[in-house]
Amino acid sequence: RTRKNNWADWGRLGSVLCAQLLDNEAEMAETVRLIKSDLFHKIANDGHMPEETRREKNGIWYTYFSLAPITASMYVVYNSTAENLFTSANGEKSLKKALDYLFYYNQHPTEWTWFKDPSPGSSSSWPGNLFEALSGIYNEPAWAKYAEKSRPICYPTHHFAWSFPTLMPAKLNFNIK
């Protein structure tokens, strides 16, 4: 959970889930600190994630593969502590900007500047599950429309933080916009 790339993000998701299950406030606080400590080292001003985009053909996948556990961790944190990390920003850098970056380039892979002919996902798997889950949090109609054609999205395989986003929609007590 201390690495610079998606390994840390997955480790942190496991940590917040364990902290929530065990009602361990100290562990939750430490994991929240870790999430906040490097979130904006992971996200560039334009929204790309340098540790993930350098993965050549799989840069779009790894961007998703980092954002999925980050956002799932934030949802666990919100439900456990009421702290909203979804609005996190640092100057031009924001989680929303990273999500928008992934959304755009997944639909326009020929414009991806990091590698020729990258592998994009689809609305029925990744990143459809992520955008289905977060469309309710960010009140983003374009994300919902992207996922809509594949509903209900159920992605019950390993390594997916948002496995059943249609059946278990993520919502906060307010919409972020």
Quick: pLDDT tens for 50-109: 999 999 999 999 999 999 999 999 999 999 999 999 999 999 999 999 999 999 999 999
- Contact partners, residue 73, CB within 8 Å, separation at least 6: 9, 12, 13, 16, 31, 35
Q: Is the pLDDT reported for residue 155 higher than 70?
A: no
Pairwise CA distance, residues 145 & 131, whole Å: 9
pLDDT, mean over the chain:
90
Q: Decide: pTM greater than 0.85.
A: yes
Output b/e per residue, 57-72; b: 16+ Cβ within 10 A.
eebbbbbbbbbbbbbb
Q: How far is CA 102 from CA 107, 108, 123, in A?
A: 9, 10, 13
- Contact partners, residue 93, CB within 8 Å, separation at least 6: 40, 43, 44, 45, 47
Q: Is the pLDDT reported for residue 158 higher than 70?
A: no
Query: Tokens 């429309």, residue?
Result: 145
Beta bridge partners of 93: 90
pLDDT category at 2 given cuts 50, 70, 90 is confident
- pLDDT over 90 for what percent of the chain? 78
pLDDT category at 166 given cuts 50, 70, 90 is low
Between 98 and 159, the higher pLDDT residue = 98
Tokens linked to 134:
């977060």
- pLDDT over 70 for what percent of the chain? 89
CA neighbor of 86 nearest in space, from 138, 128, 126, 50: 138
- The pLDDT value given to residue 174: 56
- The pLDDT value given to residue 47: 96
Could you give the angle at which helices 141-148 and 95-107 cross, rounded to 10 degrees?
A: 40
